[in-house]
Structure 1
Amino acid sequence: MNARTSEELIRAEESLLAHNYHPLPVVVARAEGVWLEDVEGRRYLDMLAGYSALNFGHRHPALVEAAHRQLDRLTLTSRAFRNDQLAGFAEGLAALTGLEMTLPMNTGAEAVESAIKVARKWAYEVKGVAPDRATIVAAAGNFHGRTTTIVGFSSDPVAREGFGPFTPGFRLVPYNDLAALEAAVDETTAAVLIEPIQGEAGVVIPDDGYLAGVRELTRRAGALFIADEIQSGLGRTGTTLACDHEAVRPDAVLLGKALGGGIVPVSAVVARREVLGVLRPGEHGSTFGGNPLGAAIGSAVVELLSTGAYQRRAAELGEVLHDGLAALLDKGVTGYRCRGLWAGVDVDPAIGTGREISERLMQEGVLVKDTHGSTIRLAPPLTITREELESALATLATVVT
């Protein structure tokens, strides 16, 4: 057991750490699979999975083994030198996504920032947009990260207020509205940046045909389609990528979170050769991007997904999740959106806010995360069993009914 209690550690955090998070009052000390244990030894079922960073659960044996093996050999060279893990990692991502080249980075926000730079460079060199005139169209309700550039095209006042002035060159349109998107795209448009499913907004799923419409619209306009699959990708929705539900292949896909196996931060821009081919030495970089430890773990993640077993599991258990939430409609739940093992659940505000519901679930041994208003998100590891998932749903039922 930890020598310090949860209360003592929470007080220390509140005193010493910036208050940019409002975590639930649970202090995790160890974890395995879908289970967490706090410093007092209480166990919790993880129904958040690190915002999809832990798609394969905590300390997946294959990923831990890959990390240990690489730790004993080489962890970092920087991209000043080559390492023996990076080529295999890029080959795996190409095979997994059907795209051709990889720009390895670390965090999801870095992948988004990198894609913005690449899209602008492509617009000037390939499309022929006049210098400093390139625009990027994004959707309201988006969550692409927390950098000053990214929050500048957020529609969330909490993310934006107090952080301006913001980077120009972005246009915001309603999500799931092809007519509005078409009206915003013109000869200056370098790219349309879209989440196939908006996670932070409450797992908002667009109408069937929307992603295919974005693909066709950008193709006609000579603009890039960039899909931010940092949360939705790598098996979460029952397919490798959420775009696969409409058999859509974007020009660039942004990956992160689960790509590092919940062990180290790993992200990537994976794109057509024509797109990433605009970068030349010295124009972009990252000391840790493409490091051999991250590449080795990323390759192990790709290997886990290569059989399709985790994607099938997410699809099958997603039906269990869907049915369990449907049974709660008008019984404390006013609405829900579910795709694979990912759901946004709207709880009757008379019962409590999303934060209050999350705290009640925590008391019952289930950990989730609230988002706006009375909405909570469910995103368990893809390794969860049917029995564990049904247990979590039963606990939710007792909390909201």
Structure 2
Amino acid sequence: MTVTTTDIPQRRELKTALPGPNSQALAARRSQAVAAGVSSTMPVFVARAGGGVIEDVDGNVLIDLGSGIAVTTVGNSAPRVVDQVQQQVADFTHTCFMISPYEEYVAVAEKLAELTPGDHAKKSALFNSGAEAVENAIKIARYATGRQAVVAVDHAYHGRTNLTMALTAKAMPYKKGFGPFASDVYRVPTSYPFRDPEGMTGEQAAQRAIGTAEKTIGADQIAAIIIEPIQGEGGFIVPAPGFLATIAQWCTDNGIVFIADEVQSGFARTGAWFACDHEGVVPDLVTTAKGIAGGLPLAAVTGRAELMDSVHAGGLGGTYGGNPVACAAALGAIETMQSDGLVARAAEIEQLATATLRQLQASTPAIGDVRGRGGMLAIEIVKPGTKEPDAALTAAVAKKCHEQGVIILTCGTYGNVIRLLPPLVISDELLTEGLQVLGQAFAELA
């Protein structure tokens, strides 16, 4: 039997104040059982979700503009994902690919070779989370090059494990108190058009980064540079045209592995299969997770076959990496993206939302910048007439939206960016209503 969530009304509906009594009761239980370090953006507990909405345990229906941080790109409990998962669970749930392999892992790797940038020979290794994929990409680059140094950029976010915390730029809440961190990790400036000197091109920003790396590390010591083609937690920063291509060419010229961290920006999210595609950049390695499997934990490193094959047998893997149920979900999610035209749908969402956000910007001096691609959009909030970040207003606007039943997320090194990550299956009507609530919040608070 196919289980779907199409019976959830695709409209915002608040039956109680948020949080309702059932969510409050669960919150009380949570406070006694769950570590305080695990935080939540919304104070409501979920009962069901599908399409562009989430229904809580009190019957409130909220507009979802977060997608579980870019995970439920195809919507929650998407029918093809549910079908594939149910069939796989009935067959077997785990054998460990390193012990006795199965076709689903191979099929996902084949899809990754087909969809990731470039037409060269590629291979993949599957893992559980974006941070795990990033760690393994670094392992592969170091092994293949025989070098140790790794370069990340300002405003980067790559995960919460020890090595990925070293790569991540933002201290609070991700790094504070958790050191010492992995060594031989260095940071260089990135391209941040809203905050770079006026008129700086992408090529100039890239040369600034390259100059810093060559002076402080030495190109011949660098194993890899890792960059999010559109930065996520750092503020949905879209680099100026030419930045990524210049960095990639410098890597090629100096035997450095160029790693594109597409954990948040990949799988149709930006109106292309991968954000690198917008710039025509072909990375040596690509890390993916989040949107790959419709909500189940799966991640991958995909790259040039000669790099992926450089590591000795047994050097890559993990007990749950490429779990068969998660692989089945990924095949269902990718089929949904392809069959339902979600790459094109992301571009439609960009067109609709950006027009509304720019109108809002024109009437709201606190909105300093509107940026993003596809269904990965953001507004940066500043003190009017300046570029000084206004984290307090950002938090207040987000809170007001949450109270009105619209899930939005914040981000940014300075805590002053509102990011929008709607499921790509959201209707125009729901998206428009969510943006109207956002506009009303600014009207009341800005």
TM-score past 0.5 threshold? yes
Query: Is residue 2:140 matched to residue 1:118?
Result: yes
Out of 230, 248, 251, the position equivalent to 1:197 is 230
Q: Deviations over 1:127-181 (max 9, x none)?
A: xx4xxxx211111110100001111232212122211111111110011231233
Q: TM-score, normalised by structure 2?
A: 0.84
**Aligned to 1:297, what secondary structure does the other structure show?**
helix
**1:1-400 aligned within 5 A:** 5-20=22-37, 21-78=39-96, 79-97=98-116, 98=118, 100-124=122-146, 129=147, 134-158=148-172, 159-176=174-191, 177-183=205-211, 184-185=213-214, 186-262=219-295, 264-306=296-338, 309-332=341-364, 333-347=367-381, 352-371=392-411, 372-400=414-442
Question: In structure 2, do the counterparts of structure 1 residues 34 and 96 end up closer, same or farther at CA, with 3 Å as the change threshold?
Answer: same
> 2-side partners of 1:107 and 1:37: how far apart?
26
- Matched to 2:109, the amino acid is A
Q: CA deviation at 1:348?
A: 5.1
Q: What per-residue deviation string (whole Å, max 9, x for no partner) do you get for residues 306-347 of structure 1? A: 458111110122111111100011433332212111112224
Deviation at 1:282, TM superposition (A): 2.2
Q: Distance between the aligned counterparts of 1:364 and 1:214, measured in 2?
A: 43
1:96/1:306 contact within 8 Å kept: no
| Partners of 1:342 and 1:378 within 8 A in 2 | yes
CA contact (8 A) 1:355 1:369 kept: no
Unmatched segments (≥5 aa) in structure 2: 1-14, 192-204, 384-389
Q: Is the 8 A contact 1:93 1:302 kept in 2?
A: no
Whole-angstrom distance in 1 between the partners of 2:336 and 2:324 = 18
* Contact 2:52–2:427, Cα closer than 8 Å, also in 1: no
Q: CA RMSD in A?
A: 1.9
CA distance in 2, matches of 1:202, 1:156: 11
Sort the Cα spacing of 1:302 and 1:351 in 2 relative to 1 into closer, same or farther, 3 A: closer
Contact conserved, 2:130 with 2:159, CA < 8 A, in 1?
Answer: yes
Task: Give the length in aligned residue pairs.
Answer: 391
Distance 2:131 2:185 in 1: 16
Q: What residue ranges of structure 1 are gaps of 5+ in the alignment?
A: none
CA distance in 1, matches of 2:405, 2:168: 34
Separation in 1, partners of 2:391, 2:186: 38
Match of 2:22, as an amino acid?
T
